[in-house]
Amino acid sequence: MKPNLEAIKYKNNKLEILNQLLLPDSFVYEDCISVEQGWQSIHQMKVRGAPAIAITAALSLACELYHLEDKYSVTGLKKYIFDKLDYLCTSRPTAVNLFKMSDQMKSLIENVVNKDKEIDPKKLKQIFIENAENLLEKDISDNKAIGQFGSECFPLNKKIKILTHCNTGSLATSGYGTALGIIRSLHSNNKLEHAYATETRPYNQGARLTAFELVYENIPSTLITDSMVSFLMKEKGIDGVVVGADRVVANGDTANKIGTYQLAIAAAYHNVPFYVAAPITSIDCTKNNGSEIHIEERPKHELTHINGIQIAAKGIDVWNPSFDITPAKLITGIVTELGVIPKNLDGEFNIKEFLLKKQ
């Protein structure tokens, strides 16, 4: 059996990340044992995908703390950790997982220091390291639960044809994946007829990464261009669309890879159920609606060039938002590790209520 694909490898206080800029041609792991390496890997998109970004940030700091000389007082160490977390949060702006991880780590450290006035700085480091390590395992088990809940959204009596966008698989998480996890789950339960993946212009996460994962695991699948989705729905009888999320806000509006919004519009027109797969770490109830989400804009050359070769007319202006916001209205259900967040009779999500009930 082939080994599982891993975007993030962590063992004995050493973090390595798969350089996704080189995929699908080369499969190269690089050391990521300092905060600077973590920041650069995320910023340059060697590692990408909302959960993988947060886990890489936490583990790069864990590695740095492991090697840090023991010269800091508890107050000094706490400031060191908080400053590094703030720095890591400047690497990319849209996926909320990074910011939630940082807030959770800060309140963990704060609580520990407040509770135990005598705590040894070495112990404090160890607590951070253990909690960062736990994120890896938790992400995989959450994704498997999402896969299971997601596969139960589809009829039992037929094999499913499903469409996905961007890359939400093992390469975007610590393993298995969210929306791609649902496809993996359907496939392993013998419920998948066919998966379709968009190429996901302009960064091509679909063509380079999702296609790579689908081929790697022999999942029956076909690549299409982003502009083919409406015709695909009309011609092929798609049973559902599953996508990931970089940030789901309190009313269910969802930021995800650019192109997700138009996919949801096409799905609504063709009566195709449209599911967002998102671990709780991707949910941000501090924002009420999608207009409050900061959307990353990326460099022009991602549109004008492919592999360094100019394909667009020289001098043309370019707009390159990396994400868009799909209104909650167009989303059928949000699949989390705690179950599928349903809509009420008014067709609205009440995410806060769902979380209160389940957590």
- Asked if residue 178 lies in contact with residue 185, where contact means CB atoms within 8 angstroms, the answer is no
Task: Give yes or no for residue 199 binding ligand MRU (CB under 6 A).
Answer: no
Which residue in the shown chain puts its C-beta closest to ligand MRU?
244
User: How far apart are CB 246 and ligand MRU at their closest, in Å?
Assistant: 5
Q: Is 169 annotated as a binding residue?
A: no
Query: Rounded to the nearest 5°, which phi and psi values hold at 349?
Result: -90, 140
Task: Give yes or no for residue 57 binding ligand MRU (CB under 6 A).
Answer: no
Residue with tokens 């886990």: 55
# chain residues binding ligand MRU, by CB under 6 A? 17
CA 136/CA 270 separation, integer angstroms: 38
User: How far apart are CB 255 and ligand MRU at their closest, in Å?
Assistant: 8
Nearer to ligand MRU, 178 or 332 (CB): 178
Q: b/e per residue, 241-270, with b = 16+ CB within 10 A? A: bbbbbbbbbbbbbbbbbbbbbbbbbbbeee
Residue selected from 95, 145, 160, 182 as contacting ligand MRU according to rule CB under 6 A: 95
Nearer to ligand MRU, 38 or 244 (CB): 244
Out of 246, 253, 284, 324, which one is annotated catalytic? 246
Query: What residues contact residue 76 under an 8 Å CB cut-off, 6+ apart?
Result: 121
Task: Give yes or no for residue 55 binding ligand MRU (CB under 6 A).
Answer: no
Total number of residues shown for the chain: 359
Task: Give yes or no for residue 98 binding ligand MRU (CB under 6 A).
Answer: no
Residue selected from 5, 38, 49, 150 as contacting ligand MRU according to rule CB under 6 A: 49
CA 279/CA 247 separation, integer angstroms: 10
User: How far apart are CB 59 and ligand MRU at their closest, in Å?
Assistant: 17
Nearer to ligand MRU, 65 or 172 (CB): 172
CA 120/CA 102 separation, integer angstroms: 22
Continuous segment of H or E residues that includes residue 150: helix 121-151
Q: Is 125 annotated as a binding residue?
A: no
User: How far apart are CB 12 and ligand MRU at their closest, in Å?
Assistant: 27
Residue selected from 256, 326, 332, 336 as contacting ligand MRU according to rule CB under 6 A: 256
Binding mask 156-185 for ligand MRU (x = CB under 6 A): ----------x-x---xx----x-------
Token pair of 37 as six digits: 């390496």
Cis preceding linkage at 273, omega within 30: no
246 belongs to the catalytic site: yes
Token pair of 310 as six digits: 């100019």
Task: Give yes or no for residue 326 binding ligand MRU (CB under 6 A).
Answer: no
User: How far apart are CB 67 and ligand MRU at their closest, in Å?
Assistant: 28
Binding mask 223-252 for ligand MRU (x = CB under 6 A): ---------------------xxx------
Nearer to ligand MRU, 76 or 321 (CB): 321
Task: Give yes or no for residue 322 binding ligand MRU (CB under 6 A).
Answer: yes
Q: Identify which of 133, 57, 86, 96 has the alpha carbon closest to the alpha carbon of residue 281.
A: 96
Strands 309-310 and 247-249: unpaired
User: How far apart are CB 50 and ligand MRU at their closest, in Å?
Assistant: 4
CA 205/CA 257 separation, integer angstroms: 9
DSSP string, 232-245: HHHHH---EEEE--
Token pair of 20 as six digits: 């996704």
CA 334/CA 342 separation, integer angstroms: 7
User: How far apart are CB 97 and ligand MRU at their closest, in Å?
Assistant: 8
Q: Identify which of 63, 192, 201 has the alpha carbon closest to the alpha carbon of residue 125.
A: 63
CA 100/CA 102 separation, integer angstroms: 5
Q: Is 50 annotated as a binding residue?
A: yes
Q: Is 111 annotated as a binding residue?
A: no
Q: What residue numbers does the annotated binding site for substrate cover?
A: 48-50, 92, 205, 256-257
Q: What residue numbers does the annotated binding site cover?
A: 48-50, 92, 205, 256-257
Active site residues: 246
Which spans of this chain sit near ligand MRU (rule: CB under 6 A)?
48-51, 95, 166, 168, 172-173, 178, 205, 244-246, 256-257, 322
